[in-house]
Amino acid sequence: MTDVKFPEGFVWGAATAAYQIEGAAAEDGRGPSIWDTFSRTPGKVFQGHTGDVACDHYHRYAADVAMMADLGLKAYRFSVAWPRIRPDGTGPVNPRGLDFYDRLTDCLLQHGIDPIVTLYHWDLPQTLQDTGGWTDRETAEHFADYAVAVHGRLGDRIRTWTTLNEPWCSAYLGYGNGLHAPGERDAGAAFRAVHHLLLGHGLAARALRAAGAEVVGVTLNPADVRPADPESAADAAAVRLVDGLHNRIFLDPLTGAGYPQDVLEHVSRLVEPDFVRDGDEKIIAAPIDVLGINFYAPTYVAGRPGGAGASAYPGTEGSVEFLPPTGPLTDMGWMIEPAALTRLLERIGRDYPGLPLIITENGGAFPDKTSADGADDTGWVADTDRVAYLDGHLRAAHEAIARGVDLRGYLVWSLLDNFEWAEGYRKRFGIVHVDYLTQRRTPKESARWYQEVIARNGL
């Protein structure tokens, strides 16, 4: 039990995203984003919840950072809201928006916490969506301009810059099956979005590097795709297709191999890929120093027609069934299988060698076990199931390191209970409980447990 020690200098921290925690949606010149629009569209988000107030982190960041320091976090991953910096996506920079991240950065540094920036965690300025959003090539260029503007203000203090968070979600859930903003349902739009997100990443990575950024990366949510029956050839073909549409469509071009042929063939059956221009793959392959991995659960598939529900993967309805999750599940209904994380890290280490990895998100949603709003009289929230989830996944990450994977750090999702996108506030991922009526923060049992893990650099 005791001998799970992580390498010297392993980065321990927590992650959040702007729209999920900040609130202050109309303050200091912030413009509307696609998530403001989407959450106001009836039927899109659980009970019409919005990020208008969220955890009010915009006003409470100083106390939140002090709490992070108390928990012993070494690093904190937050995202910058594009519509705070350029309210209409392209026009003049809004200095008051930058001021917030300036204050946050200084506060983190004063507490000895290393800031890790995500430039895009899904809150596209609405004005850019009005001209096509990520289906429009120009959005990629606007993204790089915005990245440079943020770096111009914070680059003297922030070392680690990541461009996108989970472009799979932006493209497939945002433009493919419509579960996320902007809520489009169109296979062609989804693949255009994939390409323009990757292009935006490449342009931004190159521009950040030129501006002197020390560490440049991107965060994906790669999937561990498994066959229902390891003996079945049809299931193996389904794995290959889903792996292509989920993993290789991003990882191959990012690492310089260009789009995989089998994936291009699949895409071409759904949309003319004329949006991929000569030279784009070279831009997308801009060198990166670190790959962020977000991991929650494995994916099991079978090679037979899927059910009626809209698949997140365009063009797979006739040939792939996504198996319903089995065994222990989180409150999201996601499978708990830590060994899948070991498999995934090993696979990425093997197929994309030479790229340092960091887990930029891992965690679980679990319902509160104590009083209706969580905190019991002792001020604790007994989230034993979250402790077990995190413990299992840290052991799995450690196993990958033992097998030679270059994993540099682990950031838990999430510091705070927050706005869980289409699920609103009903799903709680925090290691710190948030009472949304009072904005009171209460570290859960998992936060105290994590504090000890960090202090011991191991389990």
Binding site for ligand PNW (CB under 6 A): 17, 20, 165-166, 169, 221, 294, 361, 413, 420, 429
Nearer Cβ to ligand PNW (21/283): 21
Asked if residue 414 has a cis previous peptide bond (ω within 30° of 0), the answer is yes
Whether residue 126 is annotated as binding a ligand: the answer is: no
Give the CA dihedral 285, 289, 291, 292, nearest 10 degrees: -130
Which position among 22, 184, 281, 361 bears the catalytic label? 361
Q: How far is the CB of 298 from ligand PNW (least distance, A)?
A: 11
- And the tokens for 95? 């200095």
Whether residue 20 is annotated as binding a ligand: the answer is: yes
Q: Is the dihedral of CA 124, 130, 133, 138 positive or negative?
A: negative
Q: How far is the CB of 115 from ligand PNW (least distance, A)?
A: 18
Report how far apart the first and last C-alpha atoms of the chain are (Å, whole number). Answer: 7
Q: How far is the CB of 317 from ligand PNW (least distance, A)?
A: 17
Question: d(Cα 156, Cα 142) in Å, to the nearest integer?
Answer: 22
* Local structure of 210: helix, strand or coil: helix
User: Any catalytic annotation for residue 361?
Assistant: yes
Supply φ then ψ for residue 273, to 5 degrees.
-80, 50
Nearer Cβ to ligand PNW (413/449): 413
Question: d(Cα 17, Cα 38) in Å, to the nearest integer?
Answer: 17
Q: How far is the CB of 328 from ligand PNW (least distance, A)?
A: 17
Q: How far is the CB of 165 from ligand PNW (least distance, A)?
A: 5
Nearer Cβ to ligand PNW (285/348): 348
Question: d(Cα 251, Cα 220) in Å, to the nearest integer?
Answer: 9
Whether residue 420 is annotated as binding a ligand: the answer is: yes
Question: d(Cα 434, Cα 205) in Å, to the nearest integer?
Answer: 35
Nearer Cβ to ligand PNW (118/139): 118
Task: Find all residues with CB under 8 Å of 272, minimum gap 6, and list them.
Answer: none
Helix, strand, coil fractions of the chain, as percent rounded to 5: 40, 15, 40
115, 76 contact by CB (below 8 A)? yes
Whether residue 121 is annotated as binding a ligand: the answer is: yes
Q: Tell me 302's DSSP state.
A: E
Which position among 166, 281, 321, 337 bears the catalytic label? 166
Task: Tell me the residue length of the chain.
Answer: 459
Whether residue 12 is annotated as binding a ligand: the answer is: no
User: Any catalytic annotation for residue 214?
Assistant: no
Nearer Cβ to ligand PNW (166/281): 166
β-pairing, 440-443 vs 432-435, is antiparallel
Q: How far is the CB of 221 from ligand PNW (least distance, A)?
A: 5
- And the tokens for 36? 């403001």
Whether residue 296 is annotated as binding a ligand: the answer is: yes
Question: How does DSSP assign 101-155, residue by residue?
Answer: HHHHHHHHHHTT-EEEEEEESS--BHHHHTTTGGGSHHHHHHHHHHHHHHHHHHT
* Local structure of 24: helix, strand or coil: coil
Nearest to 407 by CA among 3, 116, 78, 11: 11
Nearer Cβ to ligand PNW (36/166): 166
Which contiguous run of DSSP H or E holds residue 161?
strand 160-165
Nearer Cβ to ligand PNW (311/342): 311
* Local structure of 438: helix, strand or coil: coil
Q: How far is the CB of 46 from ligand PNW (least distance, A)?
A: 13
Whether residue 261 is annotated as binding a ligand: the answer is: no
By annotation, the residues acting in catalysis are 166, 361
Binding residues for substrate: 20, 121, 165, 296, 413, 420-421
